[in-house]
Amino acid sequence: MSFLKFFKKSIDKKSFEQLLADKEKQDSSEQPQSKETIKRSLHENLKKIREAFGNSSDIVTREIRIGRQGEIRVGIIYTDGLINSEANHNFVMESLMFELRRNEVDLKDLAGLTLLNYIKEMVLTVGSIEDVHDFNVITNAVLSGKVVLLFDGYEQGFAVEMKGGKERGVQETTTETTIRGPREGFTENLRVNTSLIRRKIKDHRLWIESKKVGKVTKTEVSIMYIKGIVREEVVQEVRSRIEQIDIDGILESGYIEELIQDDSYTPFPTIYNTERPDIVAGHLLEGRVAILVDGTPFVLTVPSIFVQFLQSPEDYYQRADISSLIRFLRFFGFFTALLAPSLYVAITTFHQEMLPTQLLISLAAQREGVPFPAFIEAFLMEIMLEILREAGLRMPRAIGQAVSIVGTLVVGTAAVDAGIVSAAMVIVVAFTAISSFMVSSYDLAITVRMLRFVFMGLAASFGLFGIILGLVALVLHLSSLRSFGVPYLSPMAPFTLADQKDVFIRLPRRLLIFRPRVFSSQQNTKREKSLFQNENQRKKK
């Protein structure tokens, strides 16, 4: 307690004003310098750029001469590794150095164009060229994979789009595997990711908005939605929440997720993340917004509801009856993963009368000689399970397997043989662990793992009464959550009858004519009819 007090005081001592001042100082240092246009002298410009990057070895600044006599000096600046150097050689360098000389053009008479316009319009055989005048724009362009051309004697340059370099290709997802369904997964490249979605939804109403987030990392964040299906308020909300982000770096979509979620103090995920383009496409078609972050294969979709974390894309690829059964099983798995150890603790320590006599006697026999109360026993085993799981994750893959074998087989059996835990407890814990793998979303599985301990504590102190109390509190908490304006428990609470077709069961596709009401805009709820048809109908009315 005294330690806490001391800690608190030490914080208080630092005056609030001082903190503010510190922050301002930081801010000013991070702010981009005021506009600084480039000079006429190429030499000066290049020197300034080199200085700005601290002579970093990967920034290439090269001077070349073009023209018949090499009368014009050109500076080429790019980041090695970020650009496609082959294309740079072929379409920029070769055009400038070779074509210009071979054609023997008179640089004084350029078909009525200025030199720069001539180069831009008739020499450079590349797609996107921007005019640049400002040093900050130049540095940004260099860092985002463009080749910048500066001309001696001109206060203007070009930024040529030349993105390239080594990247991971489209591979099979490892976190979300299905038996049936597309294998491809997102990559770290935003452009590849948007193209993967574009390939699935070939419609001009699939809109993408992009924004740079992160003062230092300047990470590109895109939001994607289908105009006409999505609710405009949701898009507006996503836009404004992303705009409000004030942070120096975004390294993963998890940063964005934490910064834009509705409620930070909940164990439940209110934003869905996935590595699979087919899931994102499905969500977009239901009227959700996807948030793509450059540099991570994990794409966020909002709004998200509770049941969707227990659904799998495969539910829609398999036949409806099988999917419904498996979905039921998944819900069952969710509850056993959450409650199995606590139910065991509650029943064996408080409500022995609920067990069949034979089972009670057999359980009692197993507990003979076990030194710990059932709760401690369960707690130890669960902790051990979590340690094994986490250790297996962080280990190199080959060792990870060995860890799990040692953990499960050796430690488990040895613990039972030594009489430290009862065999029934090992069964319960193993069953819990396996059920928790049934929860398809990793985020929800973590939540379940956390809450399991809370429920075990409640069960150990209040029995079934405590478990019920915990469940009531859980439902209350869940119904208080919202994800971008959509109640987290919908369509159960508030109850929407039409949406029940795809919650606990999945009805055959023929019956799923309507989009989920909670996500899509009110006008376009029919899946089958095209958006245009609907618009025409509205006009007629």
Partner 1 sequence: MKFKKMLLFAVVLLLLSGCWNRRELNTIAIQVGLGIDKEGDQYVVTSQIVNPSQIAMLMSKGDKTPVMTYQEKGHTIIEAIRRMTTAVPRRIYSSHLRILVIGEELAKEGIGEVLDLLSRDHEMRTDFYITVAKDAKAGDILKVLTALEDIPANQLFNSLELSDKQWALTISVTLDQLLSDLSSEGIEVKLTGISVEGNQQVGETKANYEQIDPEAKLKFKGIALFHQDRLIGWLDEQQSRGLHYIIGKVHRTIEEISCKNDGKISIDIFSAKSQLKTKMHKGNPVGEVHIEAQGNVADVQCKNLTITNTKTIRKIEKKTEEKIKQEVEKVLSNVQQNYRVDAFGFGKALYRDDYKNWKKIKKHWKETFTELPIKTTVDVKIRRTGTINNPPLNKLED
| In the complex, minimum distance from the CB of residue 465 to partner 1, in angstroms, rounded to a whole number | 10
Check residue 414 for interaction with partner 1 (CB under 8 A): no
Which of the stretches 91-99, 149-157, 394-402, 454-462 binds partner 1 when contact is defined by CB under 8 A?
454-462
Check residue 364 for interaction with partner 1 (CB under 8 A): yes
CB 219, CB 212: distance < 8 Å: yes
Taking the C-alpha atoms of residue 172 and residue 176, their distance in angstroms, rounded to an integer, is: 9
Let me know if 248 is exposed, middle or buried by CB neighbors in 10 A (0-12, 13-18, 19+). Answer: exposed
Nearer of residues 311 and 366 to partner 1, judged by Cβ:
366
The DSSP output letter for 491 is: T
Nearer of residues 374 and 388 to partner 1, judged by Cβ:
374
| In the complex, minimum distance from the CB of residue 358 to partner 1, in angstroms, rounded to a whole number | 8
- Which amino acid is located at 348 in the chain? T
CB 266, CB 198: distance < 8 Å: no
| In the complex, minimum distance from the CB of residue 7 to partner 1, in angstroms, rounded to a whole number | 15
Length of the chain: 541
Q: What are phi and psi of 213, to 5 degrees?
A: -120, 140
CA torsion angle 192 195 197 199 (round to 10): -140
The site that binds partner 1 (CB under 8 A) totals a number of residues, namely: 24
Q: x-or-dash pattern for partner 1, window 151-190, by CB under 8 A?
A: ----------------------------------------
Check residue 234 for interaction with partner 1 (CB under 8 A): no
CB 303, CB 517: distance < 8 Å: no
Check residue 450 for interaction with partner 1 (CB under 8 A): no
- If DSSP codes are grouped into helix, strand and coil, which group holds residue 223? strand
Check residue 480 for interaction with partner 1 (CB under 8 A): no
Select from 373, 392, 400, 407 the one that contacts partner 1 (CB under 8 A). 373
Name the packing angle between helices 423-436 and 357-367 (round to 10°): 100
Taking the C-alpha atoms of residue 383 and residue 287, their distance in angstroms, rounded to an integer, is: 41
Nearer of residues 207 and 453 to partner 1, judged by Cβ:
453
| In the complex, minimum distance from the CB of residue 348 to partner 1, in angstroms, rounded to a whole number | 5
Nearer of residues 106 and 368 to partner 1, judged by Cβ:
368
Check residue 428 for interaction with partner 1 (CB under 8 A): no
DSSP letter string, 270-315: -SEEES-HHHHHHHHHHT-EEEEETT-S-EEEES--GGGGG--THH
Select from 210, 217, 362, 496 the one that contacts partner 1 (CB under 8 A). 362
Which of the stretches 279-287, 356-364, 439-447, 528-536 binds partner 1 when contact is defined by CB under 8 A?
356-364
Contact residues for partner 1, defined by CB under 8 A: 348-350, 352-353, 357, 360-370, 373-374, 457, 460-463
